[in-house]
Structure 1
Amino acid sequence: MIIKHIIEGKRNSFTWFDVCDINESDKNVLIENHELNPRHIAYATDQHERARYDQQGNINILIYNLPVKKEDTVNSFVLEPITFLIKKNTVFTFRSKALEIDAQKIITKATCYDASIRTLIFTILYQISIYYQNAIDVLNQTRDYYLSNLHKISNQNLIQLSNVERSLVYLASGIKTNLLVLEKITENQNSRKLSQTEKKLLHNIVIEVHQAEQTVEIALEVTERISTTSNNLLNNNLNDVMRFLTVWSLVLTIPTIITGFYGMNVALPFAKGSIAWVNITIATIIMIIILVIFFKIRKLF
């Protein structure tokens, strides 16, 4: 789907085409009506394309990563790119439906900033950069929930913690690549004249991304420590269960051994008499009690 926005600035006007979940019909329109190169469209629609800023002929390409919540997994995030193609007075954005942006809000802000293609792009980048902090907050809340339930940790909880940790690793990777892109944009724009508004917007984006970088590093370190602690607790619980089963298997071995001996057709002590089974039962119970007391003293119970 292609949504067209015509943005009127104080100095000039330009067109923004917001391409969401592109299909073959959209590709043909972009190639035939807007003379975009199929190779550039392939870059823009590649979900695995790394974040970067590049200039190819008369087209500038900007690919920026942002977090998207996975629908099939609880509180798990992956990275998806949003791609900008800038050609003269036209800017194209390519994104999936999962990457939600408030177009009207962006246009309003960009217009307030004396709308230009750069202010529009910087406004979008600032809005989606905030998504990182929101995603980190969600993951921190999930992690804290499992932290409060460490006393009843389970394999399922460990899986959820591993999802949180994996998501944080994805976010940290996306933030680092985005910072490299922002640094390259800053270097390339030094030779150009940016307005004070554009400089301020770019500066705010960098600050927001640096803040997200510090936050995700702290969150990842805390999550890794909690995950390690959870594994230790689960292993300790397993050891307790195995020790309990081992102790009781030893205790229950006594009556098995005694009844096995007296079940043989041979002469054994206390095997004769009408109350022989009572004597054998009492002797078995006494031996079990002695063994249990021994395990209690050794703190194996």
Structure 2
Amino acid sequence: MVECFMTGLDGITTKIDSPEPGCWVNVVNPSPDEASWLESTVGIVPEFVRSALDEEETSHIDYDEDVNQTLVIVDYPSAEDVEDMQDPSMLQYTTLPISIIFLRNQNIIVTVSLQESPIVQDMASGRVRQVNTRMRTRFLLQMLLRISQSYLVCLRRIDRLSTKTEQHLYGSMRNEELLQMLSLEKSLVYFSTSLKSAEVTLNKIMHGHMITLYEEDQDLMEDVMIEVHQAQEMCNIYSNILSGTMDAYASVISNNLNIVMKVLTVITIVMAIPNIVFGFYGMNVGLPFEGLPFVDSWLFPTLLAVAACLVAAYIFKRKGLWR
């Protein structure tokens, strides 16, 4: 899908039919024909197009001096498609690249994403204030700020969900809660990796060698850096908490298993006592207490077995082996 937007002199951004100087071209999951159109008609370097369509591309900035074009790739958070997950009720995030390409000779800015992005939708729908397609640097910083804010939103959601899942774990040790915690921990790993790469990209942008930074954009650039640093700190804190919680519950599960095995062992020993007693009385040999009454009946060995079981149970309980 290809859309073109232009900010008029009145400050309102509207759709236009074809690219023209000062416009913004938004491309979502382009077909081979649309990718060729970006190269032939818009004039983007083929290497930049291939990088923009690579799902595994990490955040970075690149500049081509020959055609005076700059490529900025950053990752934004995205929830996993429930159709691709074994349990649709689970939440897991991943990160996807979004590419912003500056074409200075054509005075055009192009964004390329592999799927519909709420970041781009907010920019196009007017939810982000003062969007101006003619001001490329500010447009880039506004998009970066929106991406960093989306990380914070997702991190707060992960924190709420991990707290809720932890409360469920207090009452049960089901695999579903543990798998959800594992999914959240994996999401934080994706976030941490993407935020570190984004910080490196932002530092290169701040130097102003590849993208011209204007004085009026300094405050916006500082806001982006602050949001990214805050997202990094939150990601590290939540990751440490979640990792500690997973380790604690692993220890609890292991301890519970040891307790169960200990109880089963004690029960097995106690239940083996009647077999031993009746085994002796089933032998054709002389036994003690033959002169006592009821020795020839099953009552005496039964009472003896019960008494031995009670004594064994009392001893195990005194030693703390049986609660």
- In the superposition, the TM-score normalised over structure 1's length comes to 0.89
Mapping of 1:117-266 within 5 angstroms? Answer: 117-151=136-170, 152-188=172-208, 192=212, 194-196=214-216, 198-264=217-283, 266=285
- Distance across 1 between alignment mates of 2:280 and 2:31: 81
Give the match for residue 17 of structure 2: none
Q: What's the offset of the Cα at 1:36?
A: 2.5
- Distance across 2 between alignment mates of 1:265 and 1:62: 93
- Distance across 2 between alignment mates of 1:274 and 1:258: 13
* One-letter amino acid of the structure 2 residue matched with residue 132 of structure 1: Y
**What SS does the corresponding residue of 2:100 show, helix, strand or coil?**
strand
Please say if residues 152 and 231 of structure 2, whose CA atoms lie closer than 8 Å, have aligned partners that are also in contact: yes
Q: What's the offset of the Cα at 1:137?
A: 0.8
Q: What's the offset of the Cα at 1:148?
A: 2.2
Q: What's the offset of the Cα at 1:9?
A: 5.4
Q: What's the offset of the Cα at 1:228?
A: 1.6
Task: Select 2:94's aligned residue among 58, 68, 78.
Answer: 78
Task: Select 1:289's aligned residue among 310, 313, 317.
Answer: 310
Gap change, CA 1:284 and 1:37, over 3 Å in 2: same
Please say if residues 106 and 123 of structure 1, whose CA atoms lie closer than 8 Å, have aligned partners that are also in contact: no
* One-letter amino acid of the structure 1 residue matched with residue 202 of structure 2: L
More helix as a share of residues: 1
**What SS does the corresponding residue of 1:149 show, helix, strand or coil?**
helix
Please give the per-residue CA displacement for 1:226-267, whole angstroms capped at 9, x wherever unaligned. 112111111111111111111111111112223334444555
Gap change, CA 1:271 and 1:280, over 3 Å in 2: farther
* One-letter amino acid of the structure 2 residue matched with residue 78 of structure 1: T
**What SS does the corresponding residue of 1:91 show, helix, strand or coil?**
strand
- Distance across 2 between alignment mates of 1:150 and 1:287: 40
Please say if residues 4 and 15 of structure 1, whose CA atoms lie closer than 8 Å, have aligned partners that are also in contact: yes
- Distance across 1 between alignment mates of 2:128 and 2:157: 28
Unaligned 5+ residue runs, structure 2? 12-19
**Is 1:61 matched with 2:61?**
no
Give the match for residue 41 of structure 1: 49
Decide which moves more: 245-254 or 1-10.
Answer: 1-10
Give the match for residue 111 of structure 2: 93
Give the match for residue 5 of structure 1: 5
Please say if residues 82 and 93 of structure 1, whose CA atoms lie closer than 8 Å, have aligned partners that are also in contact: yes
**Is 1:23 matched with 2:28?**
no
- Distance across 2 between alignment mates of 1:52 and 1:256: 74
Q: What's the offset of the Cα at 1:54?
A: 1.2
Gap change, CA 1:271 and 1:16, over 3 Å in 2: farther
Please say if residues 158 and 231 of structure 1, whose CA atoms lie closer than 8 Å, have aligned partners that are also in contact: no
RMSD, aligned α-carbons: 2.6
- Distance across 1 between alignment mates of 2:232 and 2:173: 30
Q: What's the offset of the Cα at 1:78?
A: 1.2
Unaligned 5+ residue runs, structure 1? none
Q: What's the offset of the Cα at 1:292?
A: 0.5
Give the match for residue 110 of structure 1: 131
- Distance across 1 between alignment mates of 2:116 and 2:211: 36
Please say if residues 66 and 81 of structure 1, whose CA atoms lie closer than 8 Å, have aligned partners that are also in contact: yes
Gap change, CA 1:191 and 1:246, over 3 Å in 2: closer
Q: What's the offset of the Cα at 1:98?
A: 5.0
